[in-house]
């Protein structure tokens, strides 16, 4: 497996909707395995294909950060069946390093899609896992968590990223 570079806020592919995956081929499975290694190497709990420059509807999540094998979840062409409630927690993103902010998310979700073997799966999630699913689904729609901030908070993040870019530090 290959650890792939993670793109940062500002890269075009992060800001556009990803495409439906026509079939879970060996190439798709290789990409998934690379994404898992890349997520663990970056000590993240989730990674979307768009973050490694591939505009396809695939994400991986592991809220245990690799400590529990059963916590590794792979979704291809995921769709929400249900979303309910509201939670407010601090969030970050491997594509927006150094920034954290409180984002409102549903507290419970039901997500269905294909797994790494192309089999249908539906998973019920609450708390952190529900948040991770929502965060990664946003990536597949070209939305980053900082896009969900409002007003002054959003302006501050945008300004700091612009400043870092100008200084060649982004």
Q: Which stretch binds Zn ion (CB under 5 A): 2-10, 33-41, 91-99, 121-129?
A: 91-99
Q: Which is nearer to Zn ion, 55 or 118 (CB)?
A: 55
Give me the residue whose beta carbon is nearest to Zn ion.
93
**Contact between 78 and 57 (Cβ < 8 Å):** yes
d(CA 93, CA 115): 23
Min separation Cβ 44 and Zn ion, Å: 8
Min separation Cβ 59 and Zn ion, Å: 9
Min separation Cβ 138 and Zn ion, Å: 8
d(CA 155, CA 27): 40
Of 113, 110, 122, 121, nearest in space to 84 by CA: 110
Tell me the number of residues near Zn ion by CB under 5 A. Answer: 1
Q: Which is nearer to Zn ion, 24 or 93 (CB)?
A: 93
Among candidate residues 79, 82, 124, 136, the one labeled active-site is 136
How far are the Cα atoms of 13, 58, 63, 78, 123 from residue 69, in angstroms, in the given order?
30, 19, 10, 21, 16
Alpha helices in the chain (DSSP H): 26-41, 127-140, 151-166
Q: Which stretch binds Zn ion (CB under 5 A): 4-12, 21-29, 35-43, 89-97?
A: 89-97
Catalytic residue status for 136: yes
DSSP letters spanning 8-35: -TT-GGGGSPPBPPS---HHHHHHHHHH
- Which of the 8 DSSP states describes residue 6? P
Q: Does 61 bind Zn ion (CB under 5 A)?
A: no
Pick the binder of Zn ion from 93, 114, 123, 137 (CB under 5 A): 93
Min separation Cβ 26 and Zn ion, Å: 26
Q: Which residues bind Zn ion (CB under 5 A)?
A: 93
């Amino acid at each position: 497996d290959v650890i792939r570079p993670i793109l940062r806020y500002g890269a075009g592919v992060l800001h556009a909707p990803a495409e439906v995956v026509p079939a879970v081929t060996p190439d798709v499975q290789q990409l998934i395995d690379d994404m898992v290694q890349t997520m663990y190497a970056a000590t993240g709990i989730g990674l979307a294909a768009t973050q490694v420059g591939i505009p396809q509807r695939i994400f991986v999540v592991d809220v245990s950060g690799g400590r529990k094998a059963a916590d590794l979840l792979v979704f291809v062409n995921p769709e929400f069946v249900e979303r309910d409630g509201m939670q407010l927690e601090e969030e970050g993103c491997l594509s927006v390093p150094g920034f954290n902010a409180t984002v409102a998310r549903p507290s419970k979700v039901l997500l269905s899609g294909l797994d790494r073997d192309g089999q249908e799966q539906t998973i019920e999630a609450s708390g952190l896992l529900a948040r991770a699913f929502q965060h990664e689904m946003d990536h597949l729609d070209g939305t980053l968590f900082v896009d969900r901030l409002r007003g002054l908070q959003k302006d501050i993040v945008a300004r700091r990223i612009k400043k870092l870019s100008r200084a060649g530090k982004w």
